[in-house]
Amino acid sequence: MARARRDEPAEESIQTDNSWEGNGVSSSRPVSKMEAVRRALEHIGGDASPGQIVEYVKTHHGHDMTPKFASSYKSTILRTEARRQVPQRFQEESDDFGASEGVSLRDIKTLKELAGRYGADQLRELLDLLYSND
């Protein structure tokens, strides 16, 4: 009887990544451990315990890992996501127009557009007119 290859999934319920295509040929690759932990965090939540992550990854992706390994991946993923988030004061979409402290990115883009359209001198004159005490 032939032995199953180690890199073949043991169960059919194990998810693979079908998004990669090379030369027009679709390829089904097993999901990496990092991606499996990322998906576990999306499904369970960022407050998932390492034990919950290990169980989810084993059940849904077929990877064995220790809780310490899962915890390390979780920390890396959450740290990377935190670095990628744009600080609140620089977010382009703001619901409270003028109510926030500081100048929004949208305001800066608008000023740049006006300066390009009318020139810096005319924009300055317009601002002087709007904010003069007369």
Query: Cα 52 from chain centroid?
Result: 22
For 132, phi then psi, to 5°, come to -80, 155
Helix (H, G, I), strand (E, B) or coil at 16: strand
DSSP state of 99: T
Burial 40-51 (b: 16+ CB within 10 A, else e): bbeeeeeebebe
pTM of the model: 0.48
Calpha distance 92→108 (Å, rounded): 10
Contact by Cβ (8 Å): 91, 59:
no
Distance in angstroms (rounded) separating the CA atoms of residues 130 and 134: 10
Domains of the chain by residue range = 27-84, 103-134
Model confidence at 111, in pLDDT bands (50, 70, 90)?
A: confident
For 59-84, what is the mean pLDDT?
90
Q: β-strands 25-26, 21-22: how paired?
A: antiparallel
How confident is the model over 85-101, as pLDDT tens digits?
766 655 555 545 555 56
